[in-house]
Amino acid sequence: MTRLFALIRRYEMFGSLLPEEVFVTDGFPEYTYVSIDQGKPERDLTEGLEQKNKIISIVGPSKSGKSTLCDKFFGRNVGADKIYVTGGSVAYDNDLWREAYRQVSDDTEKIFEDRAHAEVIEYLVGKELPLIVDDFHYINRDTQISVCRQFKNAASAGLRIVILSVPHRGDDPIRSNPDLTGRHFSVDFRFWTIDDLKEIAELGFPRVGLESSANFNEFLAVEALRSPQIMQTLCLEVCRGLSRDRPFEHVNVEEIVRADV
């Protein structure tokens, strides 16, 4: 009866969460989202969004949480919460606007080729959705220059534009068009600290009913090499290492062989 009562209490407190639901290695970590640097990126993005006609540039190392921050602020549903285009899919400037238009239009609308560029921008502005351009640094230089000229006019028309880049290419939008200097607002990400990464474990392990120590959480954080994605993966592998594919009762995580992790 004591064991049954403990199980019931565990489900009441945490629900039937699977480790894969808690430790998300590719996507938005609903239960283990951590605001790094004492919430500075969130504060900076909020400030940038409050300024009209600004083009926001989120700059940070690969897999540092730039896309996750956008998911938190704008939502995850492409075409409903946001317009999302990746730089790798843009060879020419029209590729970007064609994909953006495709995401928010339907069969009742005029096709992209039948609309003038200014008409496309007006249509996108009317949808009141942010345009997120991920991996902007993947766009070739000539196309960047053309796109940035168009960004200036689109932002002036009221389209909210957010560009995601890695640090050594984070100033590409400015270098591509000096006129953007006054319209550019930067949100900077850094590499994650040990304390930031530990928080993923501290938030996540209780969600699946797993007790862990501060020392063990720090061990995982050191092994994560300053990457939240690796930290999520290590925490998930801890759960899998216990041969658990469903929510489980409290166990002693120190029983896990660290070398296996």
Query: Which H or E element spans position 56?
Result: strand 55-59
Provide, rounded to the nearest whole percent, the portion of the chain with pLDDT above 70: 85
Strand segments, DSSP code E, in 76-194 are: 83-86, 131-134, 161-165, 184-188
Q: Which residue, among 194, 212, 187, has the nearest Cα to 22 in the 3D structure?
A: 212
Q: Is the pLDDT reported for residue 10 higher than 70?
A: no
Name the band, by pLDDT with cuts 50, 70 and 90, for residue 240. confident
Q: Is the CB of residue 44 less than 8 Å from the CB of residue 192? A: no
* β 161-165/131-134 pair status: parallel
Query: Among 11-25, 27-41, 43-57, whose mean pLDDT is lowest?
Result: 11-25
d(CA 251, CA 126): 53
Question: Tell me, what's the pLDDT at 23?
Answer: 96
Question: Tell me, what's the pLDDT at 7?
Answer: 41
Query: Among 25-29, 174-178, 185-189, whose mean pLDDT is lowest?
Result: 174-178
For residue 37, give both structure tokens: 């640097």
Q: Is the CB of residue 206 less than 8 Å from the CB of residue 247? A: no
Question: Tell me, what's the pLDDT at 211?
Answer: 79
The SS3 assignment for 150 reads helix
Report, as an integer, the average pLDDT of 219-248. 82
Question: Tell me, what's the pLDDT at 229?
Answer: 93
Query: Among 78-82, 115-119, 182-186, whose mean pLDDT is lowest?
Result: 182-186
One-letter amino acid for residue 252 of the chain: N
d(CA 22, CA 195): 19
Query: Which H or E element spans position 145?
Result: helix 141-157
Q: Is the pLDDT reported for residue 228 higher than 80?
A: yes
Q: Is the CB of residue 188 less than 8 Å from the CB of residue 44? A: yes
Question: Tell me, what's the pLDDT at 153?
Answer: 92
| pLDDT tens-digit series, residues 97-119 | 999 999 999 988 899 999 999 99
Name the band, by pLDDT with cuts 50, 70 and 90, for residue 190. confident
Q: Is the pLDDT reported for residue 34 higher than 80?
A: yes
Cα separations (Å) of 23 from 91, 170, 209?
Answer: 35, 29, 13
Q: Which residue, among 127, 134, 87, 137, has the nearest Cα to 103 in the 3D structure?
A: 127
For 239-261, letters b (16+ CB in 10 Å) and e give beebebeebbeeeebeebeeeee
Q: Which residue, among 228, 235, 222, has the nearest Cα to 61 in the 3D structure?
A: 228
Question: Tell me, what's the pLDDT at 243?
Answer: 53
Question: Tell me, what's the pLDDT at 235?
Answer: 93
Query: Among 12-16, 21-25, 32-36, whose mean pLDDT is lowest?
Result: 12-16
d(CA 27, CA 25): 6
Structure pTM? 0.82
For residue 177, give both structure tokens: 């068009």
Burial of 36 (0-12, 13-18, 19+ CB in 10 A): buried
d(CA 136, CA 43): 23
